[in-house]
């Protein structure tokens, strides 16, 4: 097995050769993949650019004839992803390391996102100090800021490229050592936000005591996406989705949306799930000055200098309730919705800044109306009361115990 090193060798050939040599010095086998298409490459690739574009269903000549850099990058990304995924399935890929600016980052991370969690992925990028969610998505990609442009070797670039090689070498060697270790406990996925932490921590303790390993996902958009991806990959035995706040950001336009597919994977896969409405009282924005003008008259709570929370309205709660009920009612496996009648977050309850009984009731009423035959348990408790966590954990344990193949 080898580390696949991806770079446009017509512009990053010297730098790629430096990283390849450093990896070899560290005892790592390397396959150099040329994802460029324009000028000649000063470094010879192990997998030439012709093969990359062939994997994309095109050819180097066709791409050059179109004289469109955008098309070239798109096809290189498609080809690199197909090639790396194929070679991984055939047992040849140990990790992926990419070098690049915007084009190289697009190509390299496209290939990385095709690999499962646990396969080392390092992207040295000029974009790594900015917003990288579109490149990382729900994968374990290490983005390393290049600091200077990847344009020649100098006292800065040598340090950064050397760090990348050392990081990759450490990852693959550590992975080889730990391959014999395993934890055969079935996995439960749970969602948490700061304002639902007491609930999820208590439920996690109960599930772990029962013999499950609990993966907690912070409901910040990427966390929800990562959880949905692992469920779809068949790795999860049960879902304790108590914090569905990402639906509020998707509906209203906050900054922590997990996209329109949130809350779909478990239903489609028939994975047992217990769903609640944690933190649906809030939509997330950055500092106060980043809140869109159209929301300026709404009720806000300053969580910290970087996070501004906006209270959801009764109408928004009604829409969320309908969506939650509709999605959970489509479940192919056992599912239940649990409603904490006294509040859905640490700041939603008597005396708290987001206490709004009318908004809560709009949420609950919509769920009751649209849940169909789905079980809906209403508890006269706050979501962070120990009794609510205990009931939710017990319900999921019941579902998993009676679902074939989920506990062995």
Q: pLDDT band at 243, cuts 50/70/90?
A: very high
Q: What's the pLDDT score for residue 408?
A: 41
Residue 363 in any domain: the answer is yes
CA–CA distances in Å: residue 65 to residues 61, 120, 129, 216: 6, 36, 35, 49
Indicate if 214 and 233 belong to the same structural domain.
yes
Same domain, 163 and 99: yes
**In this structure, are 387 and 270 located in the same domain?**
yes
Burial 351-384 (b: 16+ CB within 10 A, else e): ebebbbeebbebbbebbeebbeebebeebebbbb
On whether both 346 and 200 belong to a single domain, the answer is yes
Query: Taking the mean position of all CA atoms in its chain, how far away is CA 24?
Result: 32
- Pair (209, 140) in one structural domain: no
The predicted-structure confidence for 40-84, as pLDDT tens digits, reads as follows 888 889 999 999 999 999 999 898 888 888 899 999 999 999 999
Cα–Cα distance between 282 and 225 in angstroms, integer? Answer: 19
Cβ atoms of 229 and 138 closer than 8 Å: yes
- Statement to judge: residues 257 and 344 lie in one domain: yes
Is there a contact between 101 and 10 (Cβ–Cβ < 8 Å)? no
Mean pLDDT of 317-341: 98
**Residue 407 maps to a domain:** no
Mean pLDDT for the stretch of residues 278-302: 95
135 lies in the same domain as 170: yes
For the entire predicted model, the pTM comes to 0.76
pLDDT digits (tens, 9 = 90+) for 136-175: 988 999 999 999 999 899 999 999 999 999 999 999 998 8
State the Cα–Cα distance between residues 256 and 193, nearest whole angstrom. Answer: 11
Residue 304 lies in a domain: yes
* Domain end residue (candidates: 144, 160, 178): 178
Domain hosting residue 87, numbered range: 2-178
Task: Give the pLDDT band of residue 117 (cuts 50, 70, 90).
Answer: confident
277 pLDDT above the threshold of 50: yes
Alpha helices in 97-156 (DSSP H): 102-112, 133-136
């Amino acid at each position: 097995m080898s580390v696949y090193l991806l770079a446009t060798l017509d512009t990053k050939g010297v730098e790629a050769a430096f990283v390849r040599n450093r990896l070899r010095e560290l005892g790592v086998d390397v396959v150099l993949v040329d994802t460029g298409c324009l000028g000649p490459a000063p470094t010879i690739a192990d997998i030439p650019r012709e093969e990359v574009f062939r994997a994309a269903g095109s050819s180097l000549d066709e791409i050059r004839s179109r004289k469109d850099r955008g098309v070239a990058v798109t096809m290189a990304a498609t080809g690199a992803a197909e090639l790396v995924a194929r070679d991984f399935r055939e047992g040849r890929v140990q990790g992926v390391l990419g070098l690049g600016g915007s084009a190289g980052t697009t190509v390299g991370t496209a290939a990385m996102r095709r690999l499962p969690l646990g396969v080392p992925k390092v992207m040295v990028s000029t974009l790594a100090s900015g917003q990288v969610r579109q490149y990382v998505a729900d994968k374990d990609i290490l983005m390393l800021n290049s600091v200077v442009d990847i344009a020649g070797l100098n006292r800065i670039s040598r340090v950064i490229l050397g760090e990348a090689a050392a990081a990759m070498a450490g990852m693959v060697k550590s992975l080889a050592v730990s391959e014999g270790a395993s934890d055969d406990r079935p996995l439960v996925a749970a969602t948490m936000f700061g304002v639902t932490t007491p609930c999820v921590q208590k439920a996690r303790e109960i599930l772990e005591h029962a013999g499950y390993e609990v993966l907690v996902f912070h409901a910040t958009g990427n966390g929800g996406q990562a959880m949905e991806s692992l469920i779809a990959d068949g790795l999860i035995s049960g879902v304790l989705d108590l914090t569905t706040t990402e639906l509020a950001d998707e509906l209203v336009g906050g900054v922590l949306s997990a996209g329109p597919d949130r809350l779909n994977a478990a239903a489609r896969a028939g994975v047992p799930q217990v769903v609640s409405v944690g933190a649906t009282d809030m939509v997330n924005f950055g500092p106060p000055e980043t809140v869109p003008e159209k929301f300026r008259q709404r009720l806000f709570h300053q969580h910290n200098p970087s996070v501004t929370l906006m209270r959801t309205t009764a109408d928004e709660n009604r829409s969320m309730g309908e969506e939650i009920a509709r999605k959970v009612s489509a479940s192919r496996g056992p599912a239940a919705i649990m409603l904490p009648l006294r509040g859905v977050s640490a700041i939603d309850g008597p005396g708290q800044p987001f206490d709004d009984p009318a908004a809560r009731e709009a949420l609950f009423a919509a769920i009751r109306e649209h849940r169909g035959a789905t079980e809906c348990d209403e508890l006269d408790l706050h979501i962070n009361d120990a009794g609510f966590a205990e009931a939710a954990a017990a319900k999921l344990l019941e579902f998993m115990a009676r679902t074939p193949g989920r506990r062995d």
